[in-house]
Chains A and B, each alone.
Chain A
Amino acid sequence: MTLSIKNLTKSYRSLKAVDSLTLEIEQGQVFGLLGPNGSGKTTTLGMLTGVILPDSGSYQWFGDVQPVNARKKIGTLLETPNFYPYLNAIDNLKIVARIKGAQTDYDAILKSVNLYDRRHARFETYSLGMKQRLAIAGALIGNPEVLIFDEPTNGLDPQGIAEVRQVILDIAQSGKTIILASHILDEVEKICSHVAIIKQGKLLSTGSVGSILNNKVTVEVGAEDLAVLKKVLENCSLVERMLVIRQGFSLTLKEEGSVAAINQYCFDQGIVLSYLIEKQKSLEQEFLEITQ
């Protein structure tokens, strides 16, 4: 077990930022921590990296490694890139390497994030995208077993977003465990293997991205007479939720529902469907449903 969190709780005055969060992350997972802004993602990661002190609960990295030693084996980019503005890239990375006690090939690491040409420029002269890439370089120092990225594409332009995502995907390919906090569903869907959805500090749902997606089936249906179809579907026990779309209706089915069952049901009610398609439900829909 790479990380195990038990009942982690943190309050700011009356606000419960993280509410009894329990979670386990296995080695090699690309784990998405998904939630709207202010849902407690950064607070959770802050506690896991030693900067925020939990009110109660506990966490364990790599079994029972001392937190301070565990952090040396974790590369973290929390919120903003934090470096000395008056130092250049190499000096800033040297400080990170000294703290982690790591031998580092600075040239190679700077090339990997495409900053080699600007390695002697002061950090304060960097664009936001470059700062973010230097932070990723900092996180890679010491060849860490786990990488934590908190909203890594926040504020970047489309090219920057694509670059950062590619870097993360490359890291994931190498078999490292990645924890990625994001409020962007698309990002989690594209990058992560597992996901935990949190809202107001509470864990709402967790599992593999596939399992959360495939839990329930979404079917889009249409017929000649939509009014009749609507009446029929409203009485259907297989349908959990129904939305109007251009072609007809989008149905979220209950566990026992299936495309065939819906088709059969409509046919029995005397309706021939002119449009029937099974949709993989996007994480976005799932997310909105779970967090409502």
Chain B
Amino acid sequence: MQRLLHIEWLKLKRNKSFHVFFALYLIGLPLLFPIGLQMDFPREFSIRKIYAFPDVWSFLGYLGSWLTFFCFGLLSITLITQEIQFKTLRQQIINGMSRTEFLLSKLMLCAAVSVAATLYYVLVGASYGYVYTDFVFMSKVTEQMWLIPAYWLQCFAFMVVGLLLGFWLKRSGIAIFLFLIYTLVIEAILRHVFHLNVWSHKSVNYYPMNVFEDLVPLPVRQIGMTLEERLERDGVSLLLRPEEALLVAVCWILVFVGLIYWLLKRRDL
């Protein structure tokens, strides 16, 4: 375990893509957060609430989920396609790593990067919270803390999707294109145009990227009930319940890891 992580760290520490994506995340998370100040919220909604405990966790988490999607989803695609492009995946197998160990090392890398991303989210969230909360009560601070493990799982899930696409398609350009187009366009069409017309059922929310997004949901409840009510007119809830999202997300992750394993085991390298 430690051996595999150490190998991944040797590769990662001087990797330019890693430096760029990680820097984007580090800079982006605290700097993009104040953009909320310019957003058009319902009048009764206090903007300062966004930055105060406990709502800072969900608002920062929602912003962070976009950043982890872009930065770490793309990072994981880049890292795996580099291994293929440099033929270092092939060389590592030749040198005596098993295919299972290779998959394990990449999963541990994703888990470790997600831990770093989550710790930074906690740090930024706590900082904003302490500055913008008038009276800091521990109960307020911890009220939405379930979002912290959810944030980690979401980041990990995006990276696993990146691994799958990168390993399957081998080329970073195509994999990144599909990663973005599927998440931002194709899945929405599948869900709202096809699925909903055929079967108006809550399974419309079970599509993988939607499930992962719902792990750290858009904080609609905090903004105001009206928005949610408006979006629920189809009789379909906009968001999955947290525990539901968690369960389905874990299932999707297992399916994706299984697919990578299956590809890795039967492919000539």
Known contacts A80-B87, A99-B7: A68-B95 contact under CB 8 Å? no
Contact A52 B268 (CB under 8 A): yes
B11 and A84 within 8 A (CB): yes
B95: nearest chain-A partner, CB-CB: A99
Q: Is the CB of A46 within 8 A of B88?
A: no
A83 interface residue (CB < 8 Å to B): yes
Using an 8 Å CB-CB cutoff, how does the interface string of A60-84 with B read, 1 for contact, 0 for none? 0000000011011110101010111
Known contacts A95-B10, A98-B6: does B96 contact A82 (CB below 8 Å)?
Answer: no
Q: Is B90 an interface residue (CB 8 A)?
A: yes
CA–CA, A49 to B87, complex, Å?
Answer: 14
Chain A residues positioned under 8 Å from B6 (CB to CB): 98
For residue B10, which residues in chain A have a CB less than 8 angstroms away from its CB? 87, 91, 94-95, 98
A99 and B86 in contact, given A52-B269, A84-B11 (Cβ under 8 angstroms): no
Q: Is A87 touching B11 in the complex (CB atoms < 8 A)?
A: yes
Please report whether the interface of chain B is mostly helix, strand, loop or mixed according to DSSP: helix
Cβ distance B55 to chain A, nearest Cβ, rounded Å: 42
User: Is A53 part of the binding interface, using a Cβ–Cβ cutoff of 8 Å?
Assistant: yes
Residue B203 at the chain A interface, CB threshold 8 Å? no
Contact A76-B94, Cβ < 8 Å, known A82-B88, A86-B14, A98-B7: yes
- B20 contacts A by Cβ under 8 Å: no
A52-B268, A52-B269, A87-B11 given; A99·B90 CB < 8 A: no
CA gap between A95 and B12 in the complex, in Å: 11
The residue that A51 contacts in the complex, of B16, B266, B269, with Cβ under 8 A, is: B269
Known: A71-B95, A87-B14, A99-B92. A53 touches B266 (CB 8 A): yes
Contact B11 A82 (CB under 8 A): no
Q: How far is the CB of A122 from chain B (nearest CB, A)?
A: 9
Give the residues from 46 to 104 in chain B that come closer than 8 angstroms, CB to CB, to chain A.
86-88, 90-98
Query: Does any Cβ of B come within 8 Å of A175's Cβ?
Result: no
24 A-B pairs within 8 Å (CB atoms) are namely A46-B268, A49-B93, A51-B94, A53-B268, A68-B96, A69-B96, A71-B93, A71-B96, A72-B96, A74-B96, A76-B95, A82-B86, A82-B87, A83-B88, A86-B14, A87-B14, A91-B14, A94-B10, A95-B10, A95-B11, A95-B92, A98-B7, A98-B10, A99-B96
